Every structure is written in C-alpha cells, then in structure tokens.
Amino acid sequence: MKKLLPFFIIICVFFLNASAQVNLNGFKPNGAIVSLRQKGLVVSWPVGNSAIGKMVLDLEKGKPLFNSLQMGKPGALKEVAAHLDPAFVLRIGKRTLSPNSGGWDVFFDRVPTRPYTTNVVKFAKGATSVFTKGAQTVVRINGVQCETFSGALEITLYNGSPLFNVAAVVSTPKDSTAILYDAGLISKKETWSNVAWSDVKGNLQREKSAKADPAKNLEVKYRTVIGENKGGSLAVFPAPHQYFYPLDEAFNLKFTWKGSNYLNLIPDFGIGIRQDPLGDKRYVPWFNAPPNTRQRLNFFCLLSTGKAETVLTAVKKFTNHDTYVPLAGFKTMASHFHNEFISDVVLSGKTIPEKPEFVDVLKKAGLNIVKLAEFHGPGHPKGPDSIRLKELDALFKQTKRLSDANFLLLPGEEANNFYGGHWLAFFPKPIYWIMSRKSDLPFETNDPKYGKVYRVSNKAEMLKLLEQEQGLAWTAHARTKASTGYPDKYKEEDFFKSETFMGAAWKAIPGDLSLPTLSKRVLNLMDDMANWGLKKHIISEADIFTITEQNEMYAHLNVNYLQMDKLPNYAEGWKPVLDVMREGKFFVSTGEVLIPKFNINGKGAGETLKIDHSGKAKINMQLNWTFPLSFVEIVSGDGLKVYRNRINLNTTQAFGTKDYSWAINLKGRKWVRVEAWDVATNGAFTQMVWLE
C-alpha cells in the first residue's frame, strides 16, 4: 500500500495541473454543468424539451477544440459533430477619418481600393475561464492573435436552446483601422456526410461532402450553411443584421462557404460565413475597429439531432422566416427605397409587369406600408416641367395600382434641395410639385391635366408647401453620407423647428462589432435633438436600391411598427400614416425584438407626462423576442446631459414574451425613451415620452 501512495499522489498532481489552467471562479449554478477532464472540459446545458446539449472541449495544443458536440435526452445523447476547430480570417484595412466624411461615422469610404491584408487568425490555446452571465455560460480561452489584434476566443451557450455563439474577441491599439472577417468550423477529418443550404428561392440544396472538395462560396437564403451526418445537423449562421456592413445595395454576395483550402489559407474542410471584401463595388466601408475596442468576430451555431431541413426550420424561427410578424394594433412600414421602377421600367418603354417582383418581395417580408424614394438620380426634380409632371403622374398611377387593402405602396422622394444635405419628403396624397420656379411663375398654379401644381424655389417655399399640404420631411442618413453635418447645421432654422420636420432616419451606419447596439450615430442624434428642446422622432430607413428575390434583403431591412388598426385606402389619401409618424406613435425594430406595449405612468410614446416633485415613475412594457435578450436601456435627458439606466436581461431564454415594469426616478428630466437589444445585436426602440 505504501508503494502505491506516491503513484497516487503523482496522478492527483497531474490532474490538478491539467485543470489548473481552467478558472471556474466566475461559474455559478444556472442550469449548466461544467466538469474538468484531463486537458479539457465538458459543458452541458439545457436546450429545451427536457433535452441537453453537451460540448467536449480539448484544451491540448494541436488538438481540435471541439472534441465532440452532442445533443439529446439525458442518457441518450447523439454525437452531432466531432473534431472541429473554429477558424477566422481577418481582413485589415485603413479607415478614412476625414471630418468632412463623418469621421468614424463615414459611409463614403472605399476600404478595399487601398492596401489591406488578409490573415488567418491564430489561436494558441491559453489560460481558460468559465463564467456565467444569467442563463448564459461563457468559456473564454486566451491566445487569439492576428497582426496587431489580440484577444480571446469566447464560446457562449444559451440555456433553453441548442444555440451557441463562437467569437474571436480582439482589439488593436492601432488607429484608423477598418476590418472584415470570415469565420466557420473546420476539420481535418471526414466530419460531414452532406453540406446543405437553402437556395435563394427557398429550396433546400444538399451535396455529399468529401474532404478533398475544393472551397466554394454559396449563394444562400437565410444566411445559413449546414453540416449533416447520421447523428444530426449543425447550422452555422451570422447575426442577421450586425454582420452586414452598410451598403446601398442588398445584393446576395454569397455569404457562406464550404470546402477545403478556403482562400488558399485554411487547408482543412470547413463550413462558414463570409463577406465579399469588394461589396457592391461602390462605397464599401467595412467595419470600424477604433483603438482598444473589443471587436467580436462571431457566428452562431445551432445543433439538431434531425436532418438539415429540421435545423434550418429552427434557424428561420430566429428571424421569423425573414419576415416582420403582424402585431395587433400595429402596421409595419419600411421607408427609403430607390428601386426606380418608374424611370427604369414604366417610362423606359419596357413592358410593365402586372405584378412587379419588387412588390412581391416587400409583401413577402411582411410589410404593410412601403414609402418609396424615387427619382434619386434618373428623375428630373427641377424640370423641365413637362417631364417632371409626367414622372410624378406615372409614380402616382403605379403606386395606386400596386396598392391593395393590405399593402400600401406610397410615393415619396429624397428631395435634397433647399434645406441642405439629404432629406425625404412625404405627402399624405399625390402632390404635383417641381423643385424650381422661374420668376415669372407663381408658387401655385392650376394645370389643365394634372390639377394643382406647386413650384418651389427656396426653403421658405418648401416649408410653405409642407405646411399647406400637411407633409413631413426628415433628414436621411443623418450625420453620414451626403448628410454629414446635418441636421446639426440647420437646427436653428425655422423649417427644422417646424412641425413639418419630423426628425431623422435610422439605419445601421456605421458597422462596429464592438457595440451591443446598432447605429449609435442616430440614437445619439435622437437624444441630442431632444436636449435641443425639439420634439422630434426617429423613423427607420432601408436606403437601398435593387429589390429582388435573389437579394439578401432581410439583412439590410428594418421596420417601423405604426400604431394603426387598419390601413387607409390609397384613393382617399394616407394622412393617418403621417399622423402616427408626426405624433411619434410607433417603435422601430430590426424584427427580432418587438415592443407591443409601452407606457410610463400610463403615457405612451409621443405623449407628455407630468412628473410630480418626487420624480418617481414606472416604466411598463411588453417585449417579444426570438434570440435571448441582452439588456434594456432607459435613456433620459435634462436638456443638457443624457442619462442611461441599463437593465440586464441575460436571464432570458430564446423565444419569449414578458411584461416588465421598472421604477425610475426622472426628477429634472425632460424626456425619456427605451431601447431593447438581444444577444445577436438585434433590437427595438421607442420614441420619446416628453416630461414636464
């Protein structure tokens, strides 16, 4: 027995050393189970329906990190995949930071036209820790390196779902950096029997998999590629909106890949997500990577014990099948589309289709109202008068023809005259107006064919027209693109202070993978305008050109949920739509997070609440979501400063609905609003409640 004792001690010391690199101090019981093993660890987590997922991680250098991925009922687990490594390719370029182009808010940048590098991100397994964040379990492994970038690999498991996220979280001290990344899972072994994906028409495609298959890029719908074998399927997909840096076009640029020797950089067979560095070959700004910000180069994985069809159906649920779901008491509205159907088809001599493809695409996305921004280039806003009036007449006739009881296609333009920068004009009925006026013609005339015609020569007359016809205007892509510096430059102008100027529009420009929200540029502007003492609102905008079934539309879309029970009839005008916008009775969403109910002490968005001397208030809201939620932020201001109260919601699981109520002190504040964001950086935000 004495001879066995030293050997026993040696074994114990060996296991202690093997697991000593794994720090479990931050791990708290949350339903997941973590156990250490020789040179590795095992994490199990509840995935719903009494099933569990199991991840066996090998921390020995030179061995695949994901030794085994399993799923099933306890005691009856199936191995879905084995011997996988995460892989990342990071492109590093230089950002143009000219103040004239918006600095870090730049869109008009062409990063790939300047020298950049394409690099495999190196991963040398280092010190490891496991910690919990509510219903999430995170494994962090140090040792990620790429040129001047360094950081750690983070694997996040979400209780209640077979969903997990893999992220290289890296930062650089270098200034003026723009980045782009591809990522996926690779293996030296024959891991998959088949690789599957949905084609752009929604049909599942499946190819037998062999390690020798050369890499190819796949044009897919739902941004997903799937590995399939006898034990089940694993889907790889990106954050549905965050991963797509801002472009003017929504072209499908083959955002997934499969095969061996990807980019001649990764010899092993893999499946993954990708970005085309040349984008739409126009303005290609990539992502911002400001110094010392923690950029999350990440992708999601979803496990299933079923075939590819099963897991793809499960993936589609996270984006409601790439649609904006109906919500009682609301109608969905999207704005700012330069499809140029009138110029390119109707007035070009081409055959006018009975059912244009772009209308079908927008209807299938679940949109009830679409506001166009035609004649952005090919039109004649300043005349000649005869051509301008013919263009408007064609626009009005076609939008009326293509509208129905459940879908309003509404005329609109990005006017870009008189006020400065780019801005959108929106009237509650067809209005014939020309953006110029000869001195011998009056502001308003009566045309024998078109009826009332306005001719506008300056900003005062533009304001007069909007007031007279109860129209609205707002800044397009505020503080970036051709609106860099706006609306700040005209915030003291009468037209901006008037009720005809609604505010500005929100789109995910710029892209920054270190932020837990999208487009802080416009959210900050929203707060600034309120602190200026102006009651303005922020509406979402798509700001894209081509609309086709083939395109990756959903990634570039967003929506406004307007508080309306029914759609107006086109022939009777659509003033109710403008009234809701003018009053701030709507919320903005990427689609995955919804706010069906919201009030503060009984007052809803756009309304005014009288706060007593104590400042005490209660925020009540209902949230619906698909991905697990991350946080809610209550944002308020006193006319000078902005205050933020963040409420952690990381105890939520995927696919939920809940009523929340939070007490807050709003003493001295003049306005308040609320944002909600999920783990994939999808979100929604209310308009202001004004305080007095």
DSSP state of 668: T
Structure confidence at residue 21 (pLDDT):
81
Mean per-residue pLDDT for 114-128? 97
Q: Is the pLDDT of residue 189 over 80?
A: yes
The answer to whether the pTM exceeds 0.85 is yes
> Distance between CA 652 and CA 159 in Å, rounded?
9
Give the burial class of 656: count Cβ atoms within 10 A of its Cβ; 0-12 exposed, 13-18 middle, 19 or more buried: middle
Spatial distance between the Cα atoms of 204 and 195, rounded to a whole number of angstroms: 11
Mean pLDDT across 126-147: 98
pLDDT at 260 over 50: yes
At 286, the pLDDT band (50, 70, 90 cuts) reads very high
Is pLDDT of 12 > 70?
no
**Portion of the chain with pLDDT greater than 70, in percent:** 97
- Read off the pLDDT of residues 144-182 as tens digits, 9 standing for 90 and up: 999 999 999 999 999 999 999 999 999 999 999 999 999
> What's the rounded Cα separation, in Å, for the pair 547 and 372?
12
388 — phi, psi (to 5°)?
Answer: -60, -45
Task: Identify the pLDDT of residue 356.
Answer: 98
Q: What is the pLDDT of residues 649-680, one digit of tens each?
A: 999 999 999 999 999 999 999 999 999 999 99
pLDDT of 10:
32
644's tokens? 């933020």
Residue whose tokens read 């076009």: 249
Model confidence pLDDT, tens digit, residues 531-572: 999 999 999 999 999 999 999 999 999 999 999 999 999 999
Question: CA 448, CA 469: separation in Å to the nearest integer?
Answer: 20
At residue 15 the predicted structure's pLDDT band, cuts being 50, 70 and 90, is: very low
Residue 350 per-residue DSSP state: P
pLDDT higher than threshold 80 for residue 17: no
> Average pLDDT, whole number, for the chain?
96
Statement: residue 1 has pLDDT above 90: no
